[in-house]
Structure 1
Amino acid sequence: MQSPWFGSGRGRHPRARVASRTYHRGGYPTICLPPLRYGRRAPGVRWGCTTLPGGNTYSAAAGLLASAPAMARKGIFFPLKDAALRDDVHDLGELVGLVLKEQGGEALYESVEGDRRAAIGRRQGIAEDAVRLAVRTQGREPREARELIRAFSAFFQIVNLAEKVHRVRRRRQYMNDSSTPQPGGLDECFARLKARGMTLEQVVELLGRLSIEPVFTAHPTESTRRTLLRQQQRIARLLTSRLDPSQTPGERRTTIERVRTELTTGWQTAGSSRDRLSVADEREHVLFFLVEVIYEVIPAFYEEIEAALVNVYGEGAAEQHVPEMLHFGSWVGGDMDGHPDVHAKTIRESCARHQQLIVNRYFLEAQMLAERLSQSGNRVDVSQELVGRIEHYRSVVPDARTTTPASHDRMPYRVFLGQVAERLRATYEGRSGHYERVEQLIDDLEIVVRSLGGHRGEYAGLFHVRRMLRRVRTFRFHLATLDVRQNAEVHREIVGKALGEPGWPGWTPEERRLRLLAALQQDESPVGGLDAAAKRALWVFEAMEFCDHRYGRGAVGSYVVSMAGDVDDVLSVLLLAQWAGYTDATGALAVDVAPLFESVPALENAGTIVARLLADPIYRAHVAARGNRQIVMIGYSDGNKSAGIAASRWLLRNAQAAMVEACDAAGIELVVFHGRGGAISLGGGRTHTLVRSVPPGAIRNRLRVTEQGESINERFGLRPIALRTFEQSVHALALNAAGGYARERLDPRWTEAMQCLADASLRRYRALVHDDPTFLEYFQAVTPVDVIERMQIGSRPVTRVGSGIDALRAIPWMYAWSQSRHMLPGWFGAGAGLVEVVDRYGAALLGEMYAHWPFVETLLDGIEIVLAKTDLHI
């Protein structure tokens, strides 16, 4: 019997593509995208009407919103390939219903069912059900409302898990069907490179140039506790085990019972902390994914690359070594922008914690290898190199002798790996005998690899040693590179006072630039004593230098300057580093300064700023000492909040093109660091769409992107999903680097039309969001922003200094709109731009742009996805 909990959901795919591309709500049109693939306007629908119902007045908008029906759930296509997912969701829905009855009682279950049925009816356009749902949800006691929310959350979480498991299922189906490579996978990537005439050696050389760098950040959009994340992983593993066709009926019943146990335990577990998260809490959240998921899949990722090369190029590819291309970063503990609890101490603590975790992992793996490699010297020889290293370590790590029984003396691999484990223990504890550099550990493991390879050990442990070696080469002794970030305004205030220039904030950027250059060139010291803020700033550089020396190259990364507005904001950081004495062995400043362009003026002038920066001899010499590479970060969220999605994306694209031109002219490698989130409005989306939509040269061999909030769990929450994420990144970056994507050839009419779209969109967006005096009241009334401000899911304050819309940080701004299903940052203003383009240039040109310009395709597809999720009635 079908559970009423899942009711009409059977046969529906949770992320089905909406067939219709235009929506009409209750007598007034909302923003609508034209059916560009057909090049004509849909009958009875106006394109791009972006006015909120009732115009700009809060009372009128609220009145019309109350009567607006939601988009009907009709005309939705559900692919047959997702039938297994439909069945999984049905079965798991029944399971959640049983848990609700048992744990919450029949009354809770019936309340949930009543709300669910009424919501489905409202979704299908039944007016009576819309009224019934409104009546049911009004005036509930807080405790009852909390339990209902918890019940629906439990169901949505299990559905999301089922979808992840279905992705694993689909991936396995492709892997079992050699005739059909998975789109975006490694086999397809290498087949396309081969079709372009690239040899095996050229492909391997290309892979050696690639660098894929996810940077994990802490943002208040992910509130799941680590306890529940681990529970979700256990449920996912249980669900994945159901994919085994050899499972007996009894085993399948046992699996379902274990899933029910996990669901019941989760129901009885607090969903979030009662206290505001600390920086340490956020750090552990990020490290959970790095250590418990990504660490485990690193060797498998490279093994899949090697297997794909063999599939495409033949057995000769088996002899090729694929270089490491994955590197990881973090901002947690180093992001000081607007965060009083992040400072020099948290930088040291984060780097220390990174090292502790990774060294402990190596220690455990070395012990496991010692247990596995039990070869006897009486049965097989080992290299003299290994024997010599064992003898050397008897004096270096004498404690290893006490942990190795005398009976193991004739087991050289076990003895040596025990010594390696002891050195790792000493490294963890910071005592004598420790590894001073990660290269020493790599050398030890390579000795074992060579010995096994030369003495019939290919199938006697070599595979496992190579796996550990992959991990060590990837994570080294720092696990993840910690970036440091601070707001440009903080630097301006500190430097102005330290230079004895009281009118500093009022100086023009050019005046500040000239004064800073003089101070750098003459090695000026601060005037008088430093105040507390200046001392804290210098302590940050001292902490960075300490971590560099203690944990090795790569422990700390770039110094990101948020809200950078001109050249002086970069030079200020250099001067602070010079005062702190943060230099390398050659005496050159050891800091890589990465300006973050995120405001509209900064993005408009990004190319000019970079060109002027690189034209200065002092800064140009600094960049040369740092490898002739300039990292520039671009922010998606603040620009979106200021200008709307269409205008901000066009600004970002133009900024990248201008910076590419400036760096190419100066002979400098540009690395664009994309500060994007999971939501479309934050720049989220598939990796290949990002790579294809940027201007030529903006992404070459290095892909550096932030991973924020819920996107971390979405992309790295399960091991097979993390593998797929890495595969897609390699696919996109390798094809882009090899010229595998069609070369962008822009018709001047396209850029003119896109500028027209951006301008019209910006005017419409700013007229409502920034210029309408009643909009703030509307925003506060229809979103739970006041609740978000009080939630304990992030350590950073959700507002900056000031008041109103401008003071609210971009991430909570997006989060608030998504909670009310307005999704306003992901679409508002774009419709006005589309109308302007169609009226001025015609629909045919817009369709042409969509069909042949990946930037426009990505922009409009993203807006369409957001619209499919938008429900103003909520």
Structure 2
Amino acid sequence: MREPTPTEAIDLVGRFEAGQEIPERMRADVRMLGSLLGRVLRESGSPGLYEDVEALRVATIQAYTDETAEAFARAEAIADSFTVQRADEVARAFTCYFHLANLAEEHQRVRILRERDGRPEREDAADSVAAAFVRLAAEVGDDTALRRLQALRFHPVFTAHPTEARRRAISASIRRLAALLDEHERSAHGGADERRAERRMIEEIDTLWRTAPLRPEKPSPTDEVRAIMAVFDETLFTTVPHVYRRVDDALQGPAAGGRAPVVRPFVRVGSWVGGDRDGNPFVTASVTRKAAAIASEHVLLGLERAASRIGRGLTLDAATTPPSDALRGLWQRLKDADEDAASEVAKRSPDEPHRRVVLLLARKIAATRTRNADLAYRAPDELLADLRTVQDSLVEAGAPRQAYGHLQQLIWQVETYGFHLAELEVRQHSAVHAKVLAEIESGAPLSEQAHEVLEVFRVVAHIQKRYGPRAAGRYIVSFTQSADDLAAVHRLARHAVGEDAVAPVLDVIPLFETFADLQAAPRILAEIVEHPEFAARLAATGRRLEVMLGYSDSSKDVGPVAANLALYEAQQRIAAWAEGEGIELTLFHGRGGALGRGGGPANSAVLAQPPHSVDGRFKLTEQGEVIFARYGDPAIAMRHIDQVAAAVLMASAPSNEARNSAAAERFADVAATMDVASRARFFALVKAPGFAPWFATVTPMEEIGLLALGSRPARRGLSVESLEDLRAIPWVFAWTQARINLAGWFGLGTALESVGDEARLRSAYDEWPLFRTLIDNVAMSLAKADARIARRYLELGDRDDLAALVVEEMELTRSWVVRVTGATELLANKPVLQRAVKLRSPYVDALSLLQLRALRALRDAPAEASAPDPEQQRLLLLSVSGVAAGLQNTG
């Protein structure tokens, strides 16, 4: 196949982009940003770089659209023809392009959300909390619906693994570009402001290009804590109260803001960052203490600034807005405690009693942050009481707008975040607890690990005393396999603090991860609630219990299909047990960003849960790049929280529970057939002799461990002889990088083939939410895979039998998914998602081809080589980062 002429190349690229039906304004953004990147490559890249990038871009687009062996071979030949140094530059150029394309897509999402909000009839109202309340009220009545709304809980828990493949410096550059793109859109076409914005964008893109894309070393756990704080500071602290306000506005109409809100804070934020020590030796008790201190510093600074801002604005004269007796009493107490500041404030606000009080409250918040014992609040409840005194005084004085305006938002922030910001959770492996208890009971001198485990409990006690009981106290036990694994936590806590000291208040949470553990969960729970300390905690909390389910390891254990079905059944059985015991159950979903780890749209997953397994409470882990995708922009964060919370409210509607229950019963035989068939197919692959080292050969699994993604080690052992020692994240990440995505779909084709009845499977897709969610997620996973490139990776190994098994199952699954959805191609029923995948695919292909050449060079290196070729290794790692940006996930 001949190389296209420059004119033909331009026409080819134009036809490809036009065929993706991109919204015109997004197309203009992509074109402008791509053009600016091209200018930077010409100015700052080495001679000929721009031309080489364009040659590979055109070739991969042609290979993607033609689907001929000749076109693919030509793209491969171009990628292989570069020197290693040039390949390095080309990989960086494509990665920069993905960052810009992702930015344009995010900007389009924000644009749509803003336009919806600006219309009299909001288009997104159908899946908002306000709309869910109306639908729920129609089923259960207004009073019951209001009680459920006021008991609603959405509890995302941020984790550090995997952190984003991109560096924080890259993320910061992209955020600056986002602001410039916004400025560019608001400026007059052809005007000075537009030209200035473009000039500054070129400068920022040049900075992005010149910034080293790979971290020089792994971040420390404390670095990870500070990275998460950026999300709170820039988005969540102000966005969450705006979500409450939006719901209250919708429910109360014109009266909103002039009377007490009907909405109660329904978001609780948790964090494992600095608390999750399962398999991470770098997370110590000292790190956990620092994590709590850093989070408290951030939230108290935010509360202080908000109170100061509100105080400065409360210029209400005593003649028009007289203070209540309670407010006068509060002022006197504040004045007695801080005479100099009170005198200064009184001079500036002589007849503005509400202003004076709130400004002194800001001083008390500052004293809490700086640990000034004479002025500091002891607990957030004290601050809330003072703020409500101000609020009540304003209401009594006839100023409800001021009472329920900005002041209400500050109250919501304190109720949501306290003085701790995020509820820090500790996680540790059950085997570690057993080992330490054995040491203690043997009477021998304790090991360093044992001292560290015991110190964690003392740190939790300190955090609770310093920042309040909500600041820490949830203790998750990984690989819970018996009631003894949970009772061990209380025994260790008692050893840690001694018999005479007060032990920390602990909510011990079992984490059921493997297939066998999921099946054993109800039995284990029935045993542990009889344990004295567990029973006492249940009584103290009104019989509330939290249970965590692991999506990652269960999927790696039995395959994605059987794992999904096992998780549904486990939830069903646990929920039935809890209901029978009068326990208020919260299921904690350990979902990852990738589909092989329970990823996918959270709101559809919530609505597919078994009856009584949600009941207005939904808790899940938010991991890695998902955190910044869902919570990095205020408008997108508001939309995400509103959507998921709406699904949580509707999940327990009688109609939704009846639908899920009836469908699960109606298609029980389908589930049983799929379970057996998918597991057998999955085991045929992963239990084949030599599978683990073969997997490490045909994917960049080993090399991923060299990426400075996060502080946590990629595997538990030193070798890859056993999948049990491999963590779920690199398992998923490696298959994703190889463009196979096996962890998200393998076994489904065989499962559907075993059922065989296409009409019945289509009925299941239409009527059974769990099945529909499974099929849609697999469709997305397969759409991001590429069979031609996958074959090239599989050829790196010497096991044709395993390679054939993977390819055969991929083709079978793709065929059945298309048939079950009644479409002609993958994602045909999700055009926006399909467009995004198709638009990126040829550019991801370019990076995959560069990764393949580096991987081949590393695999073909002489056995006697003392170390891998550093240039080839760098190229590989650059391509890994770029592919992650293009596919928009790591693991």
Please state which band the TM-score falls in when normalised by the shorter chain.
0.7 to 0.9
- Name the counterpart of 1:630: 545
Flag the 1:6–1:566 CA change in 2: closer, same or farther, 3 A. farther
Question: What is the one-letter code of the residue matched to 1:690?
Answer: A
- Of 778, 781, 800, which aligns to 2:716? 800
Give the Cα–Cα distance (whole angstroms) in 1 for the partners of residues 358 and 536 of structure 2: 46
- Of 155, 180, 192, which aligns to 1:238? 180
What is the TM-score when the length of structure 1 is the normalising length?
0.83
Question: Contact 2:507/2:537 (CA < 8 Å) preserved in 1?
Answer: no
For 2:526, what is the secondary structure of its paired residue?
helix
Alpha-carbon offset, residue 380 of structure 1: 5.2
Structure 1 residue 550 corresponds to structure 2 residue 466: yes
Give the Cα–Cα distance (whole angstroms) in 1 for the partners of residues 264 and 148 of structure 2: 10
Structure 1 residue 261 corresponds to structure 2 residue 203: yes
Give the Cα–Cα distance (whole angstroms) in 1 for the partners of residues 261 and 304 of structure 2: 29
- Name the counterpart of 1:477: 419
Give the Cα–Cα distance (whole angstroms) in 2 for the partners of residues 459 and 783 of structure 1: 61
Structure 1 residue 828 corresponds to structure 2 residue 752: no
Alpha-carbon offset, residue 669 of structure 1: 2.0
Flag the 1:826–1:399 CA change in 2: closer, same or farther, 3 A. farther
- Of 161, 180, 184, which aligns to 2:127? 184
Q: How many residues align?
A: 777
Deviation digits for residues 413-467 of structure 1 (CA, Å, limit 9, x no counterpart): 4432332222122111112211111122222222332333344545668622222
Q: How does 1:599-638 map to 2 (within 5 A)?
A: 599-615=514-530, 619-638=534-553
Flag the 1:12–1:694 CA change in 2: closer, same or farther, 3 A. farther
Structure 1 residue 566 corresponds to structure 2 residue 509: no
Q: How does 1:615-694 map to 2 (within 5 A)?
A: 615=530, 619-694=534-609
- Name the counterpart of 2:31: 90
Alpha-carbon offset, residue 306 of structure 1: 1.2
- Of 151, 156, 170, which aligns to 1:228? 170
Deviation digits for residues 10-56 of structure 1 (CA, Å, limit 9, x no counterpart): 57689xxxxxxxxxxxxxxxxxxxxxxxxxxxxxxxxxxxxxxxxxx
Flag the 1:13–1:236 CA change in 2: closer, same or farther, 3 A. farther
- Of 94, 103, 108, which aligns to 1:152? 94
Give the Cα–Cα distance (whole angstroms) in 2 for the partners of residues 402 and 621 of structure 1: 50
- Name the counterpart of 1:779: 695
Flag the 1:747–1:483 CA change in 2: closer, same or farther, 3 A. closer
- Of 317, 320, 329, which aligns to 2:270? 329
Give the Cα–Cα distance (whole angstroms) in 2 for the partners of residues 97 and 637 of structure 1: 40
- Name the counterpart of 1:361: 302
Give the Cα–Cα distance (whole angstroms) in 2 for the partners of residues 403 and 333 of structure 1: 41
Deviation digits for residues 634-675 of structure 1 (CA, Å, limit 9, x no counterpart): 111111112211011111111111212222222222211000
- Name the counterpart of 2:643: 728
- Name the counterpart of 1:868: 783
Alpha-carbon offset, residue 843 of structure 1: 2.1
Flag the 1:834–1:318 CA change in 2: closer, same or farther, 3 A. farther
What is the TM-score when the length of structure 2 is the normalising length?
0.82
Task: Report percent identity of matched pairs.
Answer: 32
Flag the 1:582–1:770 CA change in 2: closer, same or farther, 3 A. farther
Alpha-carbon offset, residue 260 of structure 1: 2.7
Question: What is the one-letter code of the residue matched to 2:485?
Answer: D
For 1:138, what is the secondary structure of its paired residue?
helix
Alpha-carbon offset, residue 776 of structure 1: 3.2
Question: Contact 1:588/1:625 (CA < 8 Å) preserved in 2?
Answer: no
Flag the 1:451–1:260 CA change in 2: closer, same or farther, 3 A. farther
Question: Contact 1:10/1:86 (CA < 8 Å) preserved in 2?
Answer: no
For 1:790, what is the secondary structure of its paired residue?
coil
- Of 117, 129, 151, which aligns to 2:71? 129
Q: How does 1:28-177 map to 2 (within 5 A)?
A: 78=21, 82-105=23-46, 107-124=48-65, 125-138=67-80, 140-177=82-119
- Of 768, 772, 783, which aligns to 2:685? 768
Give the Cα–Cα distance (whole angstroms) in 1 for the partners of residues 347 and 576 of structure 2: 67
Flag the 1:542–1:843 CA change in 2: closer, same or farther, 3 A. same
Alpha-carbon offset, residue 115 of structure 1: 0.8
For 2:474, what is the secondary structure of its paired residue?
strand
Question: Contact 1:3/1:93 (CA < 8 Å) preserved in 2?
Answer: no
For 1:818, what is the secondary structure of its paired residue?
helix
Alpha-carbon offset, residue 375 of structure 1: 4.1
Flag the 1:407–1:817 CA change in 2: closer, same or farther, 3 A. same
- Of 270, 281, 294, which aligns to 1:340? 281
Alpha-carbon offset, residue 581 of structure 1: 4.1
Residue range with higher mean Cα deviation, 478-487 or 173-182:
173-182
For 1:263, what is the secondary structure of its paired residue?
helix
Flag the 1:378–1:261 CA change in 2: closer, same or farther, 3 A. farther
Flag the 1:584–1:94 CA change in 2: closer, same or farther, 3 A. farther
Alpha-carbon offset, residue 869 of structure 1: 0.8
Give the Cα–Cα distance (whole angstroms) in 1 for the partners of residues 234 and 488 of structure 2: 39
Question: What is the one-letter code of the residue matched to 1:758?
Answer: D
Give the Cα–Cα distance (whole angstroms) in 1 for the partners of residues 260 and 343 of structure 2: 40
- Name the counterpart of 2:841: none
For 1:554, what is the secondary structure of its paired residue?
helix
- Of 361, 371, 375, which aligns to 1:433? 375
Residue range with higher mean Cα deviation, 324-333 or 687-696:
687-696
Deviation digits for residues 269-313 of structure 1 (CA, Å, limit 9, x no counterpart): 2334212110011111111112221012122111110122145x9
Q: Name stretches of at least 5 consecutive residues in structure 2 with no aligned partner.
A: 1-5, 790-891
Flag the 1:383–1:625 CA change in 2: closer, same or farther, 3 A. closer
Give the Cα–Cα distance (whole angstroms) in 1 for the partners of residues 32 and 730 of structure 2: 35
Q: Give the superposed CA RMSD.
A: 2.9
Larger helix fraction of residues: 2
- Of 610, 617, 633, which aligns to 1:695? 610
Give the Cα–Cα distance (whole angstroms) in 1 for the partners of residues 10 and 624 of structure 2: 29
Flag the 1:264–1:747 CA change in 2: closer, same or farther, 3 A. closer
Question: Contact 1:310/1:317 (CA < 8 Å) preserved in 2?
Answer: no
Give the Cα–Cα distance (whole angstroms) in 2 for the partners of residues 331 and 7 of structure 1: 50
Flag the 1:837–1:189 CA change in 2: closer, same or farther, 3 A. same
Alpha-carbon offset, residue 479 of structure 1: 0.2
Give the Cα–Cα distance (whole angstroms) in 1 for the partners of residues 325 and 500 of structure 2: 38
Flag the 1:305–1:622 CA change in 2: closer, same or farther, 3 A. closer
Question: Contact 2:12/2:62 (CA < 8 Å) preserved in 1?
Answer: no
Alpha-carbon offset, residue 149 of structure 1: 1.7
Deviation digits for residues 165-223 of structure 1 (CA, Å, limit 9, x no counterpart): 21122223333444463142245323423443632x54332211111100000013513
Question: Contact 1:333/1:350 (CA < 8 Å) preserved in 2?
Answer: yes
Flag the 1:4–1:699 CA change in 2: closer, same or farther, 3 A. farther
Question: Contact 1:583/1:590 (CA < 8 Å) preserved in 2?
Answer: no
Residue range with higher mean Cα deviation, 743-752 or 657-666:
743-752
Give the Cα–Cα distance (whole angstroms) in 2 for the partners of residues 395 and 606 of structure 1: 57
Flag the 1:459–1:568 CA change in 2: closer, same or farther, 3 A. closer
Residue range with higher mean Cα deviation, 252-261 or 242-251:
242-251
Question: What is the one-letter code of the residue matched to 2:422?
Answer: A
Give the Cα–Cα distance (whole angstroms) in 2 for the partners of residues 4 and 739 of structure 1: 59
Flag the 1:559–1:83 CA change in 2: closer, same or farther, 3 A. same
Give the Cα–Cα distance (whole angstroms) in 2 for the partners of residues 299 and 8 of structure 1: 48
Question: Contact 1:215/1:331 (CA < 8 Å) preserved in 2?
Answer: yes
Alpha-carbon offset, residue 845 of structure 1: 2.2
For 2:599, what is the secondary structure of its paired residue?
coil
Give the Cα–Cα distance (whole angstroms) in 2 for the partners of residues 485 and 181 of structure 1: 41
Question: Contact 1:369/1:464 (CA < 8 Å) preserved in 2?
Answer: yes
Deviation digits for residues 342-392 of structure 1 (CA, Å, limit 9, x no counterpart): 122112111111111111111222222333234455775433433332222
Question: Contact 2:611/2:657 (CA < 8 Å) preserved in 1?
Answer: no
Give the Cα–Cα distance (whole angstroms) in 2 for the partners of residues 188 and 117 of structure 1: 47
Give the Cα–Cα distance (whole angstroms) in 2 for the partners of residues 216 and 619 of structure 1: 26
Residue range with higher mean Cα deviation, 258-267 or 615-624:
615-624
For 2:469, what is the secondary structure of its paired residue?
coil
- Name the counterpart of 2:889: none
Flag the 1:659–1:413 CA change in 2: closer, same or farther, 3 A. same
Give the Cα–Cα distance (whole angstroms) in 2 for the partners of residues 268 and 462 of structure 1: 49
